[in-house]
Amino acid sequence: MSEPQHEHQQLRRHLGPLSLVAIAVGYVISGEYFGWNLGLPEAGPIGFLLATFFVTVMYLSFVLCMTEMAVAMPSSEGPFAYGRRAMGPLGGFLTGWATVIEFVFAPPAIAVAIGAYVHYLFPAVPTYAAIVLIYLISVTLNLKGIKESALFNNVITLLAIGGLLFCYAVLFPHFDVSKVAAAPLLPGGLKGVVAAIPFAIWLYLCIEGVALVAEETRDPQRNISIGYVLGILILMALAILVILATVGMVDYRELGKVDYVLPSAVAGHYGRSHPFVMIMAVIGLSGLIASFHSITLASSRQIFSMARAGYLPAFFGGVHPKRRTPTAALIVPSLFGLAFALSGETAMLITASGLGAVIMYVLVMLQFFILRRREPQMVRPYRVPLYPLTPIVALVTTSIAMVLFWYYNRSAILLTVGVFAGGLGYYYLTTKGRAEREAAEFAPAVEGR
């Protein structure tokens, strides 16, 4: 049985329901501003909408199942906790490590887009300088504490939503359905639709991170469900509208070439020098920063939790004595992320993050069924609607997505497999025995519980 957590391993509760909704949207909203458009050239607008429909069904069903588990087991461990409870120490490690891969590779991909947006606005500023600056700002804010970090996230997420509403307002009056239905309807055929799925996933990727701030949430049994359900509904609306607004304005082949898709769409109609383009680019930065900042927060919590439970080096499991923030778990992964961001390989980083995500999704859905069968008496304040249809849909769609990732993205597979192998090597060589002892019982002590 684990010993009670020491003060240097305790987090502080501060987050309410509105903060959780902002975090849920903030994790993802950069996906509306860049990344998804890289799937347009092969799929075309209609094909990409088909891919988005599949991904939307997958995420809606998955998030509803994830909400049940997060409310029943509120912990900063998130998927790692579900895996350990359902599948034992190795299952916990695999689920947690897949989550780490998702949340560590997503920020550098976003940082590349931030650099591209800044360079688009100010050509004299090198992309790499903007990348370094955003890492410094976000890590500094996250180190100050969850209250300060959440306040910044709430403000920047509201700005990002405002930016999307502005985009819709200036683009939809000039919507051209012929651009959406441009011939050929499916330029890459069914294969093009399938190849677009990893990029459509970017429209929702990382929303599951809400579970990782459960220990910093007031009344998690109530507020987590609010954050998840409202968050996914808002993101569904934003995703469909941003696709239609942009591809209904500019040739989709041009949109598929850039990391600043919304300013490009506005410039395609109004001209590069129009004030709307500058406004869109400036506000667009808020969307990228919101996701970058939120995901940096989430990755630190997963690494912190795994270290606290004995799965990663112990120094990742400590927190600042005054600010109650996991210092090492914030700084070290950010240094690795910065190195990857400076490589400029946006598509590879998006794919690696997405592959880690879908592996975790499949594992979580298997754990959902295991826990429903093995622990029917577990207190579940929130239960997934339409059981067992909803979790079956989630398991099938996430499994399909995982297979498609492996088949169509061979280059990113090597990176992801390498990171997985390194993590497993560390687990078996250094932590397996300790993790098995810790897994007997683990109940984190959290300030304010």
- In percent, the amount of the chain with pLDDT more than 70 equals 90
Provide the domain count of the chain: 1
Tell me: pLDDT of 259 over 80: no
Tens-place pLDDT, residues 206-251: 888 888 777 778 888 788 888 888 999 999 999 999 999 999 988 8
Tell me whether residue 444 is in a domain: no
CATH code of the domain in which 422 resides: 1.20.1740.10
Tell me whether residue 429 is in a domain: yes
Q: Average per-residue pLDDT in the chain?
A: 84
Surface-to-core class of residue 66, CB atoms within 10 Å of its CB (0-12 exposed, 13-18 middle, 19+ buried): buried
Coil, strand, or helix at residue 217? strand
- In percent, the amount of the chain with pLDDT more than 90 equals 29
Rounded to whole angstroms, the Cα distance separating 415 from 80 reads: 22
Rounded to whole angstroms, the Cα distance separating 435 from 88 reads: 10
Peptide bond into 184 cis (omega under 30): yes
Of 237-246, 258-267, 360-369, minimum mean pLDDT range: 258-267
> CB atoms < 10 A from the CB of 174, how many?
12
Transcribe 155-179 into DSSP letters: HHHHHHHHHHHHHHHHHGGG--HHH
pLDDT category of residue 362 using cuts at 50, 70 and 90? very high
Tens-place pLDDT, residues 76-120: 678 888 998 999 888 999 999 999 998 888 899 889 888 888 887
Tell me whether residue 448 is in a domain: no
Going 224 to 230 to 233 to 237, the CA torsion angle's sign is negative
Expressed as residue numbers, the domain containing 278 is 7-438
In the block, tokens 């992320």 appear at: 337
Tokens of 435: 């993790």
Rounded to whole angstroms, the Cα distance separating 324 from 326 reads: 7
Coil, strand, or helix at residue 382? coil
Tell me whether residue 449 is in a domain: no
Tell me whether residue 204 is in a domain: yes
Tell me whether residue 445 is in a domain: no
Backbone angle region of 219, left / alpha / beta, with phi > 0 → left and psi within -120 to 50 → alpha: left
Tell me: pLDDT of 3 over 60: no
In the block, tokens 């900063």 appear at: 76
Tell me whether residue 263 is in a domain: yes
Tens-place pLDDT, residues 75-85: 767 888 899 89
Locate the DSSP E strands across 142-276.
none
Contact at 8 Å (CB) between 446 and 6? Answer: no
Tell me whether residue 446 is in a domain: no
- 20 vs 244, higher pLDDT: 244
In the block, tokens 């019982």 appear at: 441
For the residues 370-391, what does the mean pLDDT come to?
94
Residue 288 has a pLDDT of 85
Tens-place pLDDT, residues 32-62: 888 889 889 989 999 999 999 999 999 999 9
